[in-house]
Structure 1
């Protein structure tokens, strides 16, 4: 390679790197603007287009919200499955961003697990991942009976989605076209890793953590 060609290669590479860095900076800034809380905006206060109650297989009422795209007909449905001790309101920023998405346009469905949010109470016998997966299946059958689905699972919600895949693999083969797992785990949490005695509420080292 001649010196002039080598120089052009170096300059071109530097320019491409600078352009890529600038593009990344612009994208990051745009993301920061989209996720920022506006003055007077209260987290969790976005209004749904429709709300309903779905009965689980044992009759427990599950609170469900539906959000349509801002424009046009939806091409798929995104279903948010929240984590432990949270509610469907925890999907605030995702809900706001997805409503304005144009490619593809999405319909959004969020619900509260039993024992959470506005849904019915859960006893010790029904407080299992297996039951929560059956609850999710009931929500899908009632509110999303057809069309492609993308499932969003946060923490315990991701475990519920994995359990649903074991219970109903046909659903994932035929209709679920995407899954997002956020801060979740596969398997029995607590059965491996830190010993149970260390995680005990009676351990003076971890008592303050709750």
Structure 2
């Protein structure tokens, strides 16, 4: 699942009282001639900061890395320090990202942004929330298995009604999320068993009400207008050819809105590129 070596825990408190568990890996050695590169990474729906660890473990130790558990995920609370879901939205996650940056990064320092799945959507929401900060401080952006909008459910009868009911169930998903289901839905061709187990373990720790609330948030997600804040930046969009959750057509739409962005489709890979292609992502973050 990746090592925890070198990550220091911080608590970031948002303006509505959510307590975000954040983790910073400081550079192993300090340069006397230049500031260390800083990389800020946002994780996806039902996951936690741990999903980025296979990539972080491949980054050189002279890089500062900032991770956090999105509200309601991992060890982070929802508003007012609680576990009760409210009017959750991707735009709110963009505000959270701005708070993480403001509280944990040196003032006026520049950084690289990366986001996977809902984390990529968080990056887009942040661009809409703080376009001036993006213009002056963000060096480049990596968007992995994500979309600016246009997400759809499975189309199963009663899905939306089921999610409304599930909002009131604060229990962890547990073994309702099976290895077989995760392998089929989230991964591409012939994933490693240990990767499927690692991802499933994180998903099982997420609460059912958070699952439902952010399903609704993702269905309502639309940050196409926020892409304007990224048009002058180097943006890399990466997606797996077998991604069932955010398929390549959504990545290509990002490329259409960001003409200078580079879109890469990885053959036979699925949605969980943090496990399926960590070397590709680590290399891109170091450009």
TM-score with structure 2 setting the length: 0.50
Larger Rg: 1 or 2? 1
Distance 1:92 1:185, change over 3 A: same
- Aligned residue for 1:161? 123
The reply on whether 1:97 has 2:42 as its aligned counterpart is no
Distance between the aligned counterparts of 2:157 and 2:139, measured in 1?
40
SS in 1 for 2:109: coil
SS in 2 for 1:63: strand
How many pairs are equivalent? 157
Question: Are the counterparts in 1 of residues 39 and 113 from structure 2 also a CA contact under 8 Å?
Answer: yes
Instruction: Point out where structure 1 has 5 or more consecutive residues left out of the alignment.
Output: 1-42, 203-207
- Aligned residue for 2:72? 115
Distance 1:68 1:137, change over 3 A: same
Instruction: Point out where structure 2 has 5 or more consecutive residues left out of the alignment.
Output: 162-179, 186-287
SS in 2 for 1:72: coil
State the superposition RMSD in angstroms.
2.6
SS in 1 for 2:20: strand
The reply on whether 1:152 has 2:110 as its aligned counterpart is no
| Offset at residue 201 of structure 1 (A) | 7.6
Question: Are the counterparts in 2 of residues 48 and 65 from structure 1 also a CA contact under 8 Å?
Answer: no
Q: Cα deviation per residue 1:131-172 (whole Å; 9 max; x = unaligned)?
A: 111111110000013311111100000001101101110011
SS in 1 for 2:95: helix
| Offset at residue 123 of structure 1 (A) | 3.9
Distance between the aligned counterparts of 2:70 and 2:85, measured in 1?
14
SS in 1 for 2:71: coil
- Aligned residue for 1:30? none
Distance between the aligned counterparts of 1:199 and 1:175, measured in 2?
44
- Within the candidate set 38, 60, 65, 2:23 is matched to 65
- Aligned residue for 2:192? none
Question: Are the counterparts in 2 of residues 76 and 147 from structure 1 also a CA contact under 8 Å?
Answer: no
- Aligned residue for 1:81? 42
